[in-house]
Amino acid sequence: MAEPFKVHILGCGSALPTLRHHASSQVVELRDHVLMLDCSEGTQMQLRRSRVRFTKLSHVFITHLHGDHCFGLIGMISTFGLLGRTAKLHVHGPEALGPELDRQIKFFTHDLGFEVVYYPVDTKVRQVVYEDRSMTVESIPLEHRVPCCGYLIREKASLPHIRREMMDCYGIPNSQVNNIKNGADWTTADGEVIPNERLVKAADPVRSYAYISDTKYLPGLHEQLKGVTTLYHESTYGEDRMNNAEKYCHSTARQAAMVARDAGVGKLLLGHYSSRYEDEQVLLDEAKSVFDNCFLTNEMDVFDV
C-alpha cells in the first residue's frame, strides 16, 4: 500500500478577504513529512481545523511576497513558540523575505525557543530547493507582478514489493528481504538461481504535486510540469474577466486547464478565486471544457495526490 501523499486546502481565495474563503495556504503530507505551501493571514487557525499536528510541520514554502500568501507566517511562528516548540522550522521563499522575517521575529517574539532557518529561493530559475531521502522540492519560475515561483514536490522512487508467496515457496529468510528488494537473486540449497524478477513486484508509481501560485498564463509552462500526478493552478478569473487577468498577471480557469491538458497531468485543482465570484461553478465549467478531470478546491478539502 502506497505511503500517504495528501493535500489539505487551508485557503483558496485571493487577496480580498471574504466570508467564504481564506487566502492561499495548503499543507502537504508526504510519507512522514508535513510541508506548508504559502501562509496567509489566519493559516494557523485553519491548521488547527485541519487536525494536522502543528509539531509535525517542518518546512514552509512561500511563493511570493503578496500579503495573501505570507501575512500569516509571523503569527504562526509566534504561536509555535507559545506551544513550546523546540524543533527547527525551515522557511523557503524569495530572498527579500529573509531579512524582513528576521526583523519581525526579533520585534514580536522573545525567547522563541526554536530556530527559524531561512533559505532564499531564486524565483527566476528552476532548481531543487529541498531534498531528503524520500522527496525533492523544486522551484518553478512564474510571472506575476512581483518575483514569484511555484513548487513541485516529487517523491523518490520506492523499492519493489516482495512476493511473499515466492519467499515462502523457496524458504527465503526475512533477513534477505532488503537484499532482494535491492535487486539480489536467490540461490537455493541445490544451487538453483531464482532471478530477482520472480521474487518482487513492481514498485509503486512515483507521485508528484505541483503548486502553481499567482501567474499570468504561460504557454510554455506545461513543459515544466510534464506528467505531474496532481496540479494546482491558480484560476482567479473566468473568461469574462480576461482583461483583469492580463492587467493583474493572473490566469483564468480555462488557461489553467490548458496547462493541465498540455502537460498531461493526472488531475487539476482550481483555486485562488476572485471575490467577484459568488459561485465558482462557472470557473469549473470553463476548465472542464478543456480538461475534464478537474476540481474546485474548498477549505478543509483533502485531496489524494
In order of their start, the domains of the chain are 5-158+204-304 (3.60.15.10), 161-201 (no CATH)
User: Minimum mean pLDDT among 57-61, 107-111, 123-127, 185-189: which range?
Assistant: 185-189
Q: Does position 121 have pLDDT exceeding 70, yes or no?
A: yes
Taken in order 103, 104, 108, 109, the sign of the CA dihedral is negative
Q: What is the pLDDT of residue 173?
A: 87
E-assigned strands of 85-167? 89-94, 116-121, 127-131, 135-141, 149-155, 161-162
Residue 126: count other Cβ atoms within 10 Å of its Cβ: 14
Q: What is the pLDDT of residues 242-264, one digit of tens each?
A: 999 999 999 999 999 999 999 99
Mean pLDDT of the chain: 94
Q: State the pLDDT confidence band at 174, using cuts at 50, 70 and 90.
A: confident
| Mean pLDDT across 178-184 | 85
Q: Does position 178 have pLDDT exceeding 90, yes or no?
A: no
DSSP-derived 3-state class of residue 49:
helix
Q: What is the pLDDT of residue 7?
A: 98
DSSP-derived 3-state class of residue 305:
coil
E strand or H helix that includes residue 101: helix 97-108
Lookup result for grid cell 496532481? 230
How much is the pTM? 0.90
Residues designated catalytic = 68
Q: What is the pLDDT of residues 23-73, one digit of tens each?
A: 999 999 998 899 999 999 999 999 999 989 888 999 999 999 999 999 999
Q: What is the pLDDT of residue 1?
A: 62
